[in-house]
Structure 1
Amino acid sequence: MNAPEQPDTLTVLYDGGCPLCRREIAHVKGLADRRQDSALCFVDISADAADSACFAADRTALLARFHVQRADGSRLDGAAAFVAMWQRLPGWRWLARLAQLPGVLPLLERAYCSFLRVRPWLQARARRFEPAAAAQTLSPWLTRELRSDHAGETGAVCIYRGIAAVARWRGDEALEAFARRHGDTETGHLRLIESWLPPPQRSRLLGPWRVAGWLTGALPALFGQRATYATIAAVETFVDRHYQQQIDHLHTHAGPDGLLPLLLQCQADERAHRDEAASLQDRPAPWPLRAWCALVGAGSAAAVKVARRL
Protein backbone atom coordinates (compact mmCIF):
# COMPACT_ATOMS: atom_id res chain seq x y z
CA MET A 1 0.00 0.00 0.00
CA ASN A 2 1.42 3.39 -1.01
CA ALA A 3 2.09 5.95 1.71
CA PRO A 4 -0.05 9.10 1.50
CA GLU A 5 1.59 11.85 -0.52
CA GLN A 6 3.08 14.64 1.57
CA PRO A 7 1.72 18.12 0.76
CA ASP A 8 4.05 20.83 -0.48
CA THR A 9 5.49 23.14 2.16
CA LEU A 10 3.48 26.25 2.90
CA THR A 11 5.51 29.12 4.38
CA VAL A 12 3.70 31.43 6.78
CA LEU A 13 5.16 34.96 6.64
CA TYR A 14 4.46 36.81 9.87
CA ASP A 15 5.42 40.03 11.62
CA GLY A 16 7.47 39.12 14.67
CA GLY A 17 7.37 42.75 15.78
CA CYS A 18 3.57 42.66 16.22
CA PRO A 19 2.32 41.34 19.58
CA LEU A 20 -0.92 40.12 17.99
CA CYS A 21 0.96 38.17 15.32
CA ARG A 22 3.36 36.65 17.85
CA ARG A 23 0.51 35.29 19.95
CA GLU A 24 -1.40 33.93 16.97
CA ILE A 25 1.65 32.27 15.42
CA ALA A 26 2.60 30.68 18.76
CA HIS A 27 -0.88 29.10 18.85
CA VAL A 28 -0.68 27.99 15.20
CA LYS A 29 2.78 26.47 15.69
CA GLY A 30 1.43 24.44 18.58
CA LEU A 31 -1.34 23.07 16.38
CA ALA A 32 1.05 22.38 13.49
CA ASP A 33 3.38 20.44 15.79
CA ARG A 34 0.52 18.06 16.57
CA ARG A 35 0.22 17.11 12.90
CA GLN A 36 3.37 15.78 11.25
CA ASP A 37 2.02 16.22 7.72
CA SER A 38 0.99 19.87 8.16
CA ALA A 39 4.04 20.93 6.08
CA LEU A 40 3.92 24.41 7.54
CA CYS A 41 7.00 26.49 8.16
CA PHE A 42 7.14 29.95 9.69
CA VAL A 43 9.34 32.92 8.77
CA ASP A 44 9.51 36.14 10.75
CA ILE A 45 9.82 38.91 8.14
CA SER A 46 10.24 41.85 10.52
CA ALA A 47 13.40 43.84 9.79
CA ASP A 48 15.34 42.63 12.83
CA ALA A 49 14.62 38.92 12.23
CA ALA A 50 17.48 36.67 11.20
CA ASP A 51 15.64 35.05 8.26
CA SER A 52 14.03 38.14 6.75
CA ALA A 53 16.79 39.46 4.47
CA CYS A 54 15.35 37.89 1.31
CA PHE A 55 12.03 39.66 1.92
CA ALA A 56 13.53 43.14 2.35
CA ALA A 57 12.48 44.41 -1.10
CA ASP A 58 8.75 43.94 -0.49
CA ARG A 59 8.70 43.88 3.32
CA THR A 60 6.35 46.87 3.61
CA ALA A 61 3.66 45.18 1.49
CA LEU A 62 4.13 41.85 3.27
CA LEU A 63 3.77 43.46 6.69
CA ALA A 64 0.62 45.31 5.68
CA ARG A 65 -1.37 42.08 5.16
CA PHE A 66 -1.03 38.44 6.16
CA HIS A 67 0.75 36.32 3.51
CA VAL A 68 1.64 32.69 2.91
CA GLN A 69 4.03 31.47 0.24
CA ARG A 70 3.60 28.24 -1.71
CA ALA A 71 6.46 25.93 -2.65
CA ASP A 72 6.52 27.37 -6.18
CA GLY A 73 7.09 30.89 -4.81
CA SER A 74 3.59 32.21 -5.45
CA ARG A 75 1.81 33.93 -2.58
CA LEU A 76 -1.66 34.28 -1.13
CA ASP A 77 -2.70 37.16 1.08
CA GLY A 78 -5.59 38.19 3.29
CA ALA A 79 -8.46 35.77 3.85
CA ALA A 80 -7.20 33.39 1.15
CA ALA A 81 -3.90 33.05 3.03
CA PHE A 82 -5.70 32.20 6.26
CA VAL A 83 -7.79 29.55 4.50
CA ALA A 84 -4.67 27.94 3.00
CA MET A 85 -3.14 27.79 6.49
CA TRP A 86 -6.33 26.48 8.15
CA GLN A 87 -6.36 23.57 5.68
CA ARG A 88 -3.15 22.31 7.32
CA LEU A 89 -4.24 22.66 10.97
CA PRO A 90 -6.08 20.09 13.08
CA GLY A 91 -9.36 21.47 14.33
CA TRP A 92 -9.45 24.24 11.70
CA ARG A 93 -9.99 22.31 8.48
CA TRP A 94 -13.76 22.56 8.88
CA LEU A 95 -13.46 26.35 8.66
CA ALA A 96 -11.33 26.03 5.53
CA ARG A 97 -14.04 23.84 3.95
CA LEU A 98 -16.69 26.37 4.97
CA ALA A 99 -14.68 29.13 3.27
CA GLN A 100 -14.91 27.23 -0.01
CA LEU A 101 -18.70 27.64 -0.14
CA PRO A 102 -19.93 30.28 -2.61
CA GLY A 103 -19.75 33.80 -1.21
CA VAL A 104 -17.99 32.91 2.05
CA LEU A 105 -14.43 33.88 1.08
CA PRO A 106 -15.43 37.45 0.07
CA LEU A 107 -17.17 37.84 3.43
CA LEU A 108 -14.04 36.67 5.24
CA GLU A 109 -11.96 39.13 3.22
CA ARG A 110 -14.27 41.99 4.18
CA ALA A 111 -14.03 40.97 7.83
CA TYR A 112 -10.23 40.87 7.56
CA CYS A 113 -10.10 44.34 5.97
CA SER A 114 -12.24 45.62 8.85
CA PHE A 115 -9.76 44.11 11.29
CA LEU A 116 -6.86 45.83 9.51
CA ARG A 117 -8.45 49.21 10.18
CA VAL A 118 -8.43 48.63 13.94
CA ARG A 119 -5.20 46.61 14.07
CA PRO A 120 -2.95 49.58 15.01
CA TRP A 121 -5.20 50.34 17.99
CA LEU A 122 -5.24 46.67 19.04
CA GLN A 123 -1.45 46.46 18.69
CA ALA A 124 -1.00 49.48 20.92
CA ARG A 125 -3.31 47.99 23.55
CA ALA A 126 -1.52 44.63 23.37
CA ARG A 127 1.88 46.23 23.87
CA ARG A 128 0.67 47.93 27.03
CA PHE A 129 -0.11 44.57 28.61
CA GLU A 130 2.72 42.38 27.32
CA PRO A 131 6.07 42.19 29.11
CA ALA A 132 8.35 44.83 27.60
CA ALA A 133 11.32 42.47 27.29
CA ALA A 134 13.07 44.63 24.73
CA ALA A 135 12.60 47.75 26.82
CA GLN A 136 14.04 46.01 29.86
CA THR A 137 17.28 45.34 27.99
CA LEU A 138 17.73 48.93 26.78
CA SER A 139 20.22 51.15 28.50
CA PRO A 140 19.07 54.67 29.45
CA TRP A 141 21.10 56.02 26.53
CA LEU A 142 19.43 53.68 24.03
CA THR A 143 16.01 54.45 25.47
CA ARG A 144 16.57 58.16 24.89
CA GLU A 145 17.87 57.53 21.38
CA LEU A 146 14.95 55.30 20.44
CA ARG A 147 12.59 57.93 21.83
CA SER A 148 14.14 60.44 19.45
CA ASP A 149 13.94 57.89 16.60
CA HIS A 150 10.25 57.30 17.32
CA ALA A 151 9.56 61.05 17.36
CA GLY A 152 11.55 61.46 14.14
CA GLU A 153 9.76 58.67 12.30
CA THR A 154 6.42 60.06 13.50
CA GLY A 155 7.42 63.40 12.00
CA ALA A 156 8.68 61.72 8.82
CA VAL A 157 5.35 59.99 8.22
CA CYS A 158 3.66 63.39 8.52
CA ILE A 159 6.22 65.07 6.24
CA TYR A 160 5.20 62.77 3.42
CA ARG A 161 1.51 63.17 4.28
CA GLY A 162 1.95 66.93 3.96
CA ILE A 163 3.68 66.54 0.60
CA ALA A 164 1.00 64.15 -0.65
CA ALA A 165 -1.82 66.49 0.41
CA VAL A 166 -0.36 69.49 -1.42
CA ALA A 167 0.66 67.43 -4.45
CA ARG A 168 -2.88 66.07 -4.71
CA TRP A 169 -4.26 69.63 -4.49
CA ARG A 170 -1.83 70.81 -7.19
CA GLY A 171 -2.54 67.77 -9.39
CA ASP A 172 1.11 66.69 -9.32
CA GLU A 173 0.77 62.92 -9.66
CA ALA A 174 4.52 62.24 -9.77
CA LEU A 175 5.17 64.08 -6.52
CA GLU A 176 2.18 62.46 -4.84
CA ALA A 177 3.43 58.99 -5.84
CA PHE A 178 6.90 59.87 -4.50
CA ALA A 179 5.38 60.93 -1.17
CA ARG A 180 3.15 57.90 -0.81
CA ARG A 181 5.93 55.44 -1.64
CA HIS A 182 8.35 56.94 0.83
CA GLY A 183 5.63 57.47 3.42
CA ASP A 184 4.87 53.75 3.39
CA THR A 185 8.51 53.02 4.19
CA GLU A 186 8.52 55.50 7.06
CA THR A 187 5.35 53.94 8.44
CA GLY A 188 7.16 50.60 8.46
CA HIS A 189 10.07 52.16 10.37
CA LEU A 190 7.67 53.60 12.92
CA ARG A 191 6.09 50.21 13.55
CA LEU A 192 9.50 48.60 14.01
CA ILE A 193 10.62 51.18 16.56
CA GLU A 194 7.29 50.90 18.39
CA SER A 195 7.98 47.19 18.82
CA TRP A 196 11.03 48.17 20.91
CA LEU A 197 9.76 51.24 22.71
CA PRO A 198 6.60 50.84 24.86
CA PRO A 199 4.15 53.78 24.95
CA PRO A 200 5.17 55.08 28.41
CA GLN A 201 8.72 55.69 27.14
CA ARG A 202 7.74 57.56 23.96
CA SER A 203 7.92 61.32 23.52
CA ARG A 204 5.17 63.34 25.18
CA LEU A 205 5.30 65.82 22.29
CA LEU A 206 4.10 63.58 19.46
CA GLY A 207 1.33 66.04 18.61
CA PRO A 208 3.75 68.92 17.94
CA TRP A 209 6.07 66.58 16.03
CA ARG A 210 3.16 65.60 13.76
CA VAL A 211 2.25 69.22 13.08
CA ALA A 212 5.88 70.23 12.48
CA GLY A 213 6.39 67.29 10.17
CA TRP A 214 3.29 68.02 8.11
CA LEU A 215 4.31 71.65 7.66
CA THR A 216 7.89 70.66 6.77
CA GLY A 217 6.48 68.62 3.91
CA ALA A 218 3.59 70.83 2.85
CA LEU A 219 5.38 74.20 2.70
CA PRO A 220 8.06 73.27 0.13
CA ALA A 221 5.49 71.26 -1.83
CA LEU A 222 3.63 74.54 -2.42
CA PHE A 223 6.68 75.68 -4.40
CA GLY A 224 6.91 72.49 -6.46
CA GLN A 225 9.04 69.42 -6.89
CA ARG A 226 12.44 71.13 -6.77
CA ALA A 227 11.88 72.60 -3.30
CA THR A 228 10.36 69.35 -2.05
CA TYR A 229 13.23 67.15 -3.21
CA ALA A 230 15.80 69.54 -1.74
CA THR A 231 13.95 69.47 1.60
CA ILE A 232 13.82 65.68 1.65
CA ALA A 233 17.51 65.42 0.82
CA ALA A 234 18.29 67.77 3.73
CA VAL A 235 16.09 65.88 6.19
CA GLU A 236 17.41 62.47 5.19
CA THR A 237 21.02 63.66 5.33
CA PHE A 238 20.48 64.55 8.99
CA VAL A 239 18.62 61.29 9.70
CA ASP A 240 21.44 59.26 8.15
CA ARG A 241 23.96 60.89 10.52
CA HIS A 242 21.62 60.42 13.47
CA TYR A 243 21.25 56.69 12.83
CA GLN A 244 25.01 56.37 12.24
CA GLN A 245 25.72 57.71 15.75
CA GLN A 246 23.55 54.98 17.23
CA ILE A 247 25.05 52.30 15.00
CA ASP A 248 28.58 53.35 16.02
CA HIS A 249 27.53 53.16 19.68
CA LEU A 250 26.20 49.61 19.24
CA HIS A 251 29.36 48.53 17.42
CA THR A 252 31.40 49.82 20.39
CA HIS A 253 29.21 48.97 23.36
CA ALA A 254 26.95 46.23 21.93
CA GLY A 255 23.26 46.10 22.76
CA PRO A 256 20.20 43.85 22.73
CA ASP A 257 19.97 41.29 19.94
CA GLY A 258 18.07 42.53 16.91
CA LEU A 259 18.42 46.26 17.47
CA LEU A 260 21.50 46.79 15.30
CA PRO A 261 19.97 45.13 12.19
CA LEU A 262 16.85 47.25 12.68
CA LEU A 263 18.86 50.48 12.74
CA LEU A 264 20.93 49.40 9.75
CA GLN A 265 17.78 48.68 7.75
CA CYS A 266 16.24 52.03 8.66
CA GLN A 267 19.45 53.85 7.78
CA ALA A 268 19.68 52.09 4.41
CA ASP A 269 16.12 53.13 3.56
CA GLU A 270 16.75 56.73 4.61
CA ARG A 271 19.89 56.87 2.48
CA ALA A 272 17.90 55.58 -0.49
CA HIS A 273 15.33 58.35 0.09
CA ARG A 274 18.13 60.94 0.28
CA ASP A 275 19.84 59.72 -2.87
CA GLU A 276 16.61 59.53 -4.85
CA ALA A 277 15.60 63.05 -3.82
CA ALA A 278 19.07 64.39 -4.67
CA SER A 279 19.02 62.71 -8.09
CA LEU A 280 15.66 64.31 -8.93
CA GLN A 281 17.02 67.85 -8.53
CA ASP A 282 17.78 69.08 -12.02
CA ARG A 283 20.08 71.98 -11.03
CA PRO A 284 21.75 73.52 -7.96
CA ALA A 285 19.40 75.10 -5.45
CA PRO A 286 19.28 78.93 -5.20
CA TRP A 287 20.32 80.55 -1.94
CA PRO A 288 16.77 80.91 -0.48
CA LEU A 289 16.23 77.18 -0.90
CA ARG A 290 19.66 76.42 0.56
CA ALA A 291 18.80 78.62 3.55
CA TRP A 292 15.51 76.77 4.00
CA CYS A 293 17.29 73.39 3.90
CA ALA A 294 19.82 74.61 6.48
CA LEU A 295 16.91 75.68 8.69
CA VAL A 296 15.30 72.25 8.27
CA GLY A 297 18.54 70.53 9.27
CA ALA A 298 18.97 72.75 12.33
CA GLY A 299 15.35 72.22 13.30
CA SER A 300 15.75 68.45 13.03
CA ALA A 301 18.79 68.54 15.30
CA ALA A 302 16.93 70.67 17.86
CA ALA A 303 13.91 68.35 17.73
CA VAL A 304 16.13 65.33 18.47
CA LYS A 305 17.58 67.03 21.55
CA VAL A 306 14.10 67.81 22.86
CA ALA A 307 12.70 64.36 22.05
CA ARG A 308 15.50 62.65 23.98
CA ARG A 309 14.20 64.34 27.13
CA LEU A 310 10.45 64.76 26.56
Structure 2
Amino acid sequence: MPEDSELGSRILKVNHAGEHGAICIYTGQIIAARLTARDMVMELEEFKSHEKRHRYVFWSELQRRGRRRCRSYWLCALGGFVLGLATGLLGRKAIASTTVAVERVVLRHLEHQLELLRGKDEAAVLAISSIVEDERRHHDHSAEHLHGGKFWPKVLSPVIAASTEAVIWVGMRA
Protein backbone atom coordinates (compact mmCIF):
# COMPACT_ATOMS: atom_id res chain seq x y z
CA MET A 1 0.00 0.00 0.00
CA PRO A 2 2.80 2.56 0.71
CA GLU A 3 4.03 1.95 -2.85
CA ASP A 4 0.62 2.95 -4.22
CA SER A 5 0.57 6.10 -2.09
CA GLU A 6 4.10 6.95 -3.27
CA LEU A 7 3.06 6.50 -6.91
CA GLY A 8 0.00 8.68 -6.31
CA SER A 9 2.16 11.37 -4.74
CA ARG A 10 4.65 11.30 -7.63
CA ILE A 11 1.79 11.58 -10.13
CA LEU A 12 0.22 14.46 -8.19
CA LYS A 13 3.56 16.29 -8.10
CA VAL A 14 3.97 15.99 -11.87
CA ASN A 15 0.36 16.99 -12.48
CA HIS A 16 0.80 20.02 -10.21
CA ALA A 17 3.90 21.09 -12.17
CA GLY A 18 2.07 20.45 -15.45
CA GLU A 19 -0.82 22.66 -14.39
CA HIS A 20 1.68 25.40 -13.56
CA GLY A 21 3.15 24.94 -17.03
CA ALA A 22 -0.34 25.22 -18.56
CA ILE A 23 -0.94 28.47 -16.67
CA CYS A 24 2.31 29.79 -18.11
CA ILE A 25 1.38 28.67 -21.64
CA TYR A 26 -1.88 30.60 -21.38
CA THR A 27 -0.08 33.60 -19.86
CA GLY A 28 2.28 33.77 -22.84
CA GLN A 29 -0.56 33.23 -25.30
CA ILE A 30 -2.69 35.94 -23.71
CA ILE A 31 0.14 38.46 -24.00
CA ALA A 32 0.70 37.63 -27.67
CA ALA A 33 -2.98 37.15 -28.55
CA ARG A 34 -3.62 40.78 -27.65
CA LEU A 35 -1.72 41.46 -30.89
CA THR A 36 -2.56 38.43 -33.03
CA ALA A 37 -5.94 37.03 -31.94
CA ARG A 38 -7.79 39.53 -29.75
CA ASP A 39 -11.03 37.57 -30.02
CA MET A 40 -9.39 34.62 -28.21
CA VAL A 41 -8.14 36.52 -25.14
CA MET A 42 -11.27 35.97 -23.03
CA GLU A 43 -11.31 32.26 -23.85
CA LEU A 44 -7.62 31.93 -22.97
CA GLU A 45 -8.20 33.77 -19.69
CA GLU A 46 -11.06 31.38 -18.89
CA PHE A 47 -8.88 28.34 -19.65
CA LYS A 48 -6.10 29.84 -17.50
CA SER A 49 -8.53 30.23 -14.59
CA HIS A 50 -9.42 26.52 -14.90
CA GLU A 51 -5.74 25.59 -14.84
CA LYS A 52 -5.23 27.69 -11.71
CA ARG A 53 -8.02 25.74 -10.02
CA HIS A 54 -6.44 22.45 -11.17
CA ARG A 55 -3.07 23.51 -9.78
CA TYR A 56 -4.76 24.33 -6.47
CA VAL A 57 -6.47 20.91 -6.37
CA PHE A 58 -3.14 19.12 -6.78
CA TRP A 59 -1.28 21.47 -4.42
CA SER A 60 -3.92 20.98 -1.72
CA GLU A 61 -3.58 17.21 -1.94
CA LEU A 62 0.23 17.43 -1.92
CA GLN A 63 0.11 19.63 1.19
CA ARG A 64 -2.28 17.21 2.89
CA ARG A 65 0.31 14.48 2.23
CA GLY A 66 3.18 16.67 3.42
CA ARG A 67 4.80 16.61 -0.03
CA ARG A 68 6.77 19.29 -1.81
CA ARG A 69 6.27 20.31 -5.38
CA CYS A 70 8.04 18.57 -8.24
CA ARG A 71 11.57 19.59 -9.16
CA SER A 72 10.33 20.19 -12.72
CA TYR A 73 7.93 22.94 -11.55
CA TRP A 74 10.07 25.83 -12.83
CA LEU A 75 11.06 23.96 -15.99
CA CYS A 76 7.35 23.64 -16.77
CA ALA A 77 6.89 27.35 -16.05
CA LEU A 78 9.69 28.53 -18.30
CA GLY A 79 8.96 26.08 -21.10
CA GLY A 80 5.25 26.81 -20.90
CA PHE A 81 5.70 30.57 -21.08
CA VAL A 82 8.11 30.39 -24.04
CA LEU A 83 5.78 27.96 -25.85
CA GLY A 84 2.75 30.13 -25.14
CA LEU A 85 4.41 33.35 -26.26
CA ALA A 86 5.81 31.80 -29.44
CA THR A 87 2.59 30.10 -30.49
CA GLY A 88 0.58 33.15 -29.48
CA LEU A 89 2.63 35.27 -31.86
CA LEU A 90 1.82 32.80 -34.66
CA GLY A 91 -1.92 33.47 -34.29
CA ARG A 92 -5.20 31.76 -33.56
CA LYS A 93 -4.61 28.44 -35.36
CA ALA A 94 -1.23 28.01 -33.65
CA ILE A 95 -2.79 28.84 -30.28
CA ALA A 96 -5.57 26.30 -30.82
CA SER A 97 -3.13 23.69 -32.17
CA THR A 98 -1.03 24.04 -29.03
CA THR A 99 -3.99 23.46 -26.72
CA VAL A 100 -5.20 20.48 -28.73
CA ALA A 101 -1.74 18.86 -28.77
CA VAL A 102 -1.06 19.43 -25.07
CA GLU A 103 -4.53 18.34 -23.96
CA ARG A 104 -4.45 15.20 -26.10
CA VAL A 105 -1.31 14.06 -24.26
CA VAL A 106 -2.61 15.22 -20.88
CA LEU A 107 -5.95 13.45 -21.27
CA ARG A 108 -4.24 10.20 -22.24
CA HIS A 109 -2.00 10.46 -19.16
CA LEU A 110 -4.89 11.34 -16.85
CA GLU A 111 -6.88 8.31 -18.00
CA HIS A 112 -3.84 6.07 -17.50
CA GLN A 113 -3.23 7.56 -14.05
CA LEU A 114 -6.82 6.87 -13.06
CA GLU A 115 -6.44 3.23 -14.17
CA LEU A 116 -3.23 2.84 -12.16
CA LEU A 117 -4.57 4.44 -8.99
CA ARG A 118 -8.19 3.24 -8.77
CA GLY A 119 -8.60 1.11 -5.67
CA LYS A 120 -5.08 2.03 -4.50
CA ASP A 121 -5.06 5.79 -3.85
CA GLU A 122 -8.59 7.16 -3.86
CA ALA A 123 -7.55 10.67 -2.79
CA ALA A 124 -5.34 10.94 -5.89
CA VAL A 125 -8.13 9.49 -8.03
CA LEU A 126 -10.53 12.11 -6.71
CA ALA A 127 -8.10 14.96 -7.40
CA ILE A 128 -7.35 13.74 -10.93
CA SER A 129 -11.00 13.02 -11.73
CA SER A 130 -11.98 16.54 -10.72
CA ILE A 131 -10.08 18.11 -13.63
CA VAL A 132 -10.63 15.69 -16.52
CA GLU A 133 -13.81 17.31 -17.84
CA ASP A 134 -12.25 20.79 -17.98
CA GLU A 135 -9.25 19.42 -19.87
CA ARG A 136 -11.54 17.64 -22.32
CA ARG A 137 -13.50 20.87 -22.91
CA HIS A 138 -10.27 22.79 -23.54
CA HIS A 139 -9.27 20.19 -26.12
CA ASP A 140 -12.65 20.02 -27.84
CA HIS A 141 -13.27 23.76 -27.89
CA SER A 142 -9.79 24.46 -29.25
CA ALA A 143 -10.22 21.77 -31.92
CA GLU A 144 -13.25 23.71 -33.20
CA HIS A 145 -10.92 26.64 -34.02
CA LEU A 146 -8.91 24.38 -36.33
CA HIS A 147 -11.56 23.69 -38.98
CA GLY A 148 -9.97 24.43 -42.31
CA GLY A 149 -6.55 24.89 -40.75
CA LYS A 150 -4.11 22.10 -41.51
CA PHE A 151 -0.71 23.78 -41.43
CA TRP A 152 -0.22 24.55 -37.73
CA PRO A 153 -1.68 21.29 -36.46
CA LYS A 154 0.58 19.34 -38.80
CA VAL A 155 3.69 21.36 -37.90
CA LEU A 156 3.14 21.99 -34.18
CA SER A 157 1.30 18.91 -32.93
CA PRO A 158 4.15 16.39 -33.15
CA VAL A 159 6.69 18.78 -31.57
CA ILE A 160 4.35 19.91 -28.77
CA ALA A 161 3.13 16.38 -28.06
CA ALA A 162 6.71 15.06 -27.86
CA SER A 163 7.75 17.98 -25.64
CA THR A 164 4.79 17.41 -23.32
CA GLU A 165 5.61 13.70 -23.09
CA ALA A 166 9.26 14.55 -22.34
CA VAL A 167 8.34 16.95 -19.54
CA ILE A 168 6.05 14.34 -17.98
CA TRP A 169 8.77 11.70 -18.27
CA VAL A 170 11.35 13.99 -16.63
CA GLY A 171 8.87 14.97 -13.90
CA MET A 172 8.14 11.36 -13.00
CA ARG A 173 11.86 10.79 -12.52
CA ALA A 174 12.75 14.08 -10.78
TM-score by length of 2: 0.89
Higher relative contact order (CA 8 A, sep 6+): 2
- What one-letter code is carried by the residue in structure 1 that aligns with 2:133? A
CA drift of 1:201 comes to 3.0
CA-atom RMSD, angstroms? 2.0
The equivalent of 1:266 in structure 2 is: 131
Rounded to whole Å, the distance in 2 between the matches of 1:305 and 1:166 is 29
- Structure with the largest fraction of strand: 1
1:138/1:302 Cα in 2 relative to 1: closer, same or farther (>3 Å)?
same
SS of 1:197's equivalent in the other structure is: helix
Runs of at least 5 residues in structure 1 that lack an aligned partner in the other structure:
1-135
The equivalent of 2:108 in structure 1 is: 241
- 1:185-241 per-residue CA deviation (whole Å, 9 max, x = no partner) reads 000000000011137532123222111001121111111101110111010011100
Are 1:305 and 2:156 an aligned pair? no
Rounded to whole Å, the distance in 1 between the matches of 2:153 and 2:86 is 12
1:262/1:206 Cα in 2 relative to 1: closer, same or farther (>3 Å)?
closer
The equivalent of 1:190 in structure 2 is: 55
- Asked if the contact 2:26–2:45 (Cα under 8 Å) also holds between the matched residues in 1, the reply is yes
1:204/1:227 Cα in 2 relative to 1: closer, same or farther (>3 Å)?
same
1:227 aligned residue (94, 106, 121): 94
CA drift of 1:309 comes to 2.2
- Asked if the contact 2:5–2:120 (Cα under 8 Å) also holds between the matched residues in 1, the reply is no
Rounded to whole Å, the distance in 1 between the matches of 2:155 and 2:146 is 16
Alignment of 1:46-61 (within 5 A): none
- Asked if the contact 2:36–2:89 (Cα under 8 Å) also holds between the matched residues in 1, the reply is no
- Structure with the largest fraction of helix: 2
CA drift of 1:261 comes to 3.0
Task: Provide the identity percentage.
Answer: 26
Are 1:207 and 2:74 an aligned pair? yes
Rounded to whole Å, the distance in 1 between the matches of 2:120 and 2:9 is 14
Are 1:153 and 2:19 an aligned pair? yes
Rounded to whole Å, the distance in 1 between the matches of 2:74 and 2:82 is 13
- Asked if the contact 2:8–2:117 (Cα under 8 Å) also holds between the matched residues in 1, the reply is no
1:171/1:285 Cα in 2 relative to 1: closer, same or farther (>3 Å)?
closer
- Asked if the contact 1:155–1:210 (Cα under 8 Å) also holds between the matched residues in 2, the reply is yes
- What one-letter code is carried by the residue in structure 2 that aligns with 1:249? L
SS of 1:262's equivalent in the other structure is: helix
- Asked if the contact 1:143–1:201 (Cα under 8 Å) also holds between the matched residues in 2, the reply is no
CA drift of 1:265 comes to 2.2
Alignment of 1:1-310 (within 5 A): 139-168=5-34, 170=35, 172-198=37-63, 200-251=67-118, 253-256=119-122, 258-286=123-151, 289-310=153-174
- Asked if the contact 2:97–2:156 (Cα under 8 Å) also holds between the matched residues in 1, the reply is no
SS of 2:167's equivalent in the other structure is: helix
Rounded to whole Å, the distance in 1 between the matches of 2:36 and 2:95 is 15
TM-score by length of 1: 0.52
Rounded to whole Å, the distance in 2 between the matches of 1:222 and 1:282 is 20
